[in-house]
């Protein structure tokens, strides 16, 4: 029985764990696999819990039923046995009472045999004995009556004999084991006094075996366990199938919402019937509809806005061209005007140019927003490009008293990039460095590794506070509004530079500390790939602003020749934003 109960949970666990086992050959992985299933699969967990609880309940019920049946079987057998024994003993006593042996040993012996015959006839067992209670030897007493080899099968305990000897009026019984060969069968011994004439008190013991009841009990118990185990398995299977109808829609819903979250706005849950899942499906679909329409609305709105900015920029261009031509013409003749008008003409001309720059920056930004920018890649050497830009900005640097130096340990081999945009980035960074460099030297570093080419522009100027660094790429943001704008950018320069860098799959990083200056690093992946790992030019410079420039490493003053080409270069990108304020 005990073994049966131990087997029940083990046996029930097997079907649930089987799919996992067939996947995993190595038995040592099973515990991990089962634990994983337990965490991951609602169905597995629920089925397992259901099985365990059902098994426990059925076990308790079976044990209780088995015990009840056992008791009932024993009690009824015991009552039957007692009645049987009573009938036999009453008949035996009647036989004894009617006899008159007259002290003859032979007659007494015959009397006992006759009594034995009566008992054998009246009771259903032939396993009995009659023992004389008085142990004193008697000359006429025949040997004790033993039937069916009683002594060799059954041992009557001394306590029972004492109880039977002590009370003549009662029947006593005791459960014993009947030894048959080397196996024992449960049995009941019933004992009672009989009065034998002339010989006094005899004790009658009748032994009944319970083999039939035992067999019945065994059969009933076996049936119980078989039915119990069957029930557990059945309930497990039912739970498995019922849960499947629940977990499958849940899994479907989880998949669908994951796809929706990933941006597939068109996905919907199938709605079947009227149950809770149908309700879930309907509300999910309603949510998806609403998200889709709102995203579409926002996208439309932003498209309209982008188109508006683009249209405005374009529409402004024609009148601006007229103004530009007129302003230029008037400015060319300012010598003919009085000083105030001449100055007005100068201002008009300068501001028209600024307006133009602002407009083209705005247009560029609107192109990024619209995602309509296309790179025109050609193999370009970043080091040579940096050299060009430094040369073209030589005059500006000189005006601010900044010494611009190029350090280029690498980055000479051509890389696929859009030179117009990269030149614009470098010009912008350098312009910022010159404006904020406080007349101190500026170091431009170009280097490369296997995946990346990088360009750093380091100034030793006033630097920026950390909260300013965060906003440095924001549109129209300025580090210090109170500072006068000497170069006069549009406030869009750095955000355009960042846009250009990202368009190349690259990145623009910044380091700055008040009093130590700033370092802007442009990183571009080779062959239009993705940026990986570290920059060949460190974003955080390990140098010290107080160190003399000659200690900075491999710096070398570059040979700057202000050529015609360089001079006109600054003019060439009239439609491309040039050096702006740190914006």
Binding-site ranges for another protein (CB under 8 A)? 314-315, 317-326, 328-329, 356, 359, 372, 374, 376, 378-379, 419-420, 423, 564-565, 568-569, 571-575
- What is the CB neighbour count within 10 angstroms for residue 325? 11
**Minimum distance from CB of 420 to another protein (Å)?**
7
DSSP 229-283: HHHHHHHHHHHHHHHHHHHHHHHHHHHHHHHHHTT-TT------SSSHHHHHHHH
Radius of gyration of the chain (CA): 55
**Minimum distance from CB of 365 to another protein (Å)?**
14
Query: What is the distance between the alpha carbons of residues 105 and 258, in angstroms, rounded to a whole number?
Result: 106
CB of 379 or CB of 557, closer to another protein:
379
**Minimum distance from CB of 501 to another protein (Å)?**
19
CB of 47 or CB of 359, closer to another protein:
359
Question: Helix (H, G, I), strand (E, B), or coil: what is residue 179?
Answer: strand
CB of 125 or CB of 349, closer to another protein:
349
Query: What is the distance between the alpha carbons of residues 565 and 570, in angstroms, rounded to a whole number?
Result: 9
**Minimum distance from CB of 363 to another protein (Å)?**
8
Query: What is the distance between the alpha carbons of residues 168 and 435, in angstroms, rounded to a whole number?
Result: 130
CB of 431 or CB of 541, closer to another protein:
431
The candidate with the shortest Cα–Cα distance to 122, out of 93, 87, 96, is 87
8-state DSSP, 451: S
**Minimum distance from CB of 577 to another protein (Å)?**
13
CB of 374 or CB of 546, closer to another protein:
374
Q: How far is CA 223 from CA 5, 12, 65, 231, in A?
A: 14, 18, 11, 12
**Minimum distance from CB of 286 to another protein (Å)?**
41
CB of 158 or CB of 335, closer to another protein:
335
8-state DSSP, 142: P
CB of 104 or CB of 321, closer to another protein:
321
Yes or no: say if 424 and 386 are a contact pair by the CB < 8 Å rule.
no
**Minimum distance from CB of 328 to another protein (Å)?**
5
**Minimum distance from CB of 360 to another protein (Å)?**
9
**Minimum distance from CB of 460 to another protein (Å)?**
31
CB of 147 or CB of 572, closer to another protein:
572
**Minimum distance from CB of 451 to another protein (Å)?**
22
- What is the CB neighbour count within 10 angstroms for residue 359? 19
The candidate with the shortest Cα–Cα distance to 428, out of 384, 484, 472, is 472
Query: What is the distance between the alpha carbons of residues 366 and 361, in angstroms, rounded to a whole number?
Result: 9
Assigned token pair, 99: 């006899």
Query: What is the distance between the alpha carbons of residues 190 and 311, in angstroms, rounded to a whole number?
Result: 117
CB of 416 or CB of 468, closer to another protein:
416
Contacts of 428 (CB under 8 A, 6+ apart): 493, 494, 496, 497, 577, 578, 579, 580
CB of 394 or CB of 423, closer to another protein:
423
**Minimum distance from CB of 439 to another protein (Å)?**
29
**Minimum distance from CB of 325 to another protein (Å)?**
5
**Minimum distance from CB of 535 to another protein (Å)?**
27
Question: Helix (H, G, I), strand (E, B), or coil: what is residue 156?
Answer: coil
Yes or no: say if 156 and 205 are a contact pair by the CB < 8 Å rule.
yes
| Chain center to CA of 312 | 51
CB of 231 or CB of 323, closer to another protein:
323
Contacts of 267 (CB under 8 A, 6+ apart): 256, 259, 260, 288
Contacts of 377 (CB under 8 A, 6+ apart): 416, 417, 418, 528
Query: What is the distance between the alpha carbons of residues 161 and 472, in angstroms, rounded to a whole number?
Result: 110
């Amino acid at each position: 029985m005990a073994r049966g109960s131990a087997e029940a949970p083990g046996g029930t666990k097997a079907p649930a764990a089987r799919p996992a086992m067939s996947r995993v050959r190595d038995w040592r992985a099973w515990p991990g696999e089962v634990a994983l299933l337990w965490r991951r699969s609602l169905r597995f967990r629920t089925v397992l819990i259901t099985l365990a609880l059902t098994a426990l309940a059925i076990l308790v019920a079976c044990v209780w039923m088995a015990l009840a049946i056992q008791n009932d079987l024993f009690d009824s057998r015991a009552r039957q046995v007692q009645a049987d024994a009573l009938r036999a003993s009453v008949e035996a006593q009647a036989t004894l009472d009617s006899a008159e042996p007259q002290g003859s040993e032979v007659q007494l012996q015959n009397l006992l045999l006759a009594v034995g015959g009566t008992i054998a006839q009246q009771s259903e067992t032939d396993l009995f004995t009659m023992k004389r209670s008085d142990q004193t030897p008697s000359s006429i007493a025949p040997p004790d009556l033993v039937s069916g080899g009683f002594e060799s099968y059954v041992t009557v305990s001394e306590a029972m004999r004492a109880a039977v000897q002590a009370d003549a009026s009662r029947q006593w019984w005791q459960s014993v084991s009947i030894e048959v060969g080397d196996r024992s069968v449960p049995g009941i011994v019933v004992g009672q006094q009989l009065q034998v004439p002339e010989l006094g008190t005899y004790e009658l013991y009748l032994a009944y075996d319970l083999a039939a009841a035992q067999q019945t009990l065994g059969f009933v118990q076996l049936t119980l366990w078989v039915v119990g185990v069957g029930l557990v398995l059945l309930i497990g299977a039912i739970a498995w199938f019922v849960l499947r109808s629940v977990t499958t829609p849940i899994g479907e819903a989880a998949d669908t919402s994951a796809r929706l979250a990933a941006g597939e706005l068109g996905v919907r849950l199938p709605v079947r019937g009227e149950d809770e899942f149908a309700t879930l499906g309907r509300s999910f679909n309603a949510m998806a509809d609403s998200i889709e329409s709102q995203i579409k609305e926002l996208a439309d709105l932003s498209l309209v806005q982008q188109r508006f900015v683009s249209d405005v920029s374009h529409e402004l261009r024609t009148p601006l061209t007229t103004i530009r031509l007129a302003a230029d013409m008037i400015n060319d003749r300012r010598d003919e005007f009085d000083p105030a008008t001449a100055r007005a003409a100068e201002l008009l001309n300068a501001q028209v140019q600024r307006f133009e720059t602002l407009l083209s920056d705005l247009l560029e930004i609107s192109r990024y927003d619209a995602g309509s920018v296309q790179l025109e890649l050609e193999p370009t050497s970043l080091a040579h490009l940096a050299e060009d830009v430094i040369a073209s900005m030589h005059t500006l640097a000189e005006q601010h008293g900044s010494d611009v130096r190029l350090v280029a340990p690498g980055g000479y081999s051509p890389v696929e990039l859009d030179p117009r945009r990269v030149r614009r980035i470098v010009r912008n960074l350098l312009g910022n460095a010159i404006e904020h460099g406080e007349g101190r030297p500026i170091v431009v570093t170009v280097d490369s590794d296997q995946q990346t080419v990088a360009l750093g522009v380091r100034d030793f100027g006033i630097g920026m506070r950390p909260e300013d660094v965060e906003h440095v790429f924001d549109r129209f943001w300025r580090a210090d509004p109170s500072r006068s704008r000497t170069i006069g950018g549009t406030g869009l320069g750095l955000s355009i530079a960042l846009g250009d860098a990202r368009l190349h799959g690259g990145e623009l990083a910044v380091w700055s500390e008040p009093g130590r200056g700033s370092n802007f690093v442009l990183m571009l992946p080779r062959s239009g790939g993705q940026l990986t790992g570290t920059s060949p030019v460190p974003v955080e410079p390990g140098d010290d602003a107080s160190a003399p420039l000659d200690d900075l490493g491999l710096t070398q003053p570059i040979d700057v020749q202000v050529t015609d080409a360089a001079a006109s270069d600054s003019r060439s990108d009239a439609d491309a934003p040039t050096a702006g304020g740190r914006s």
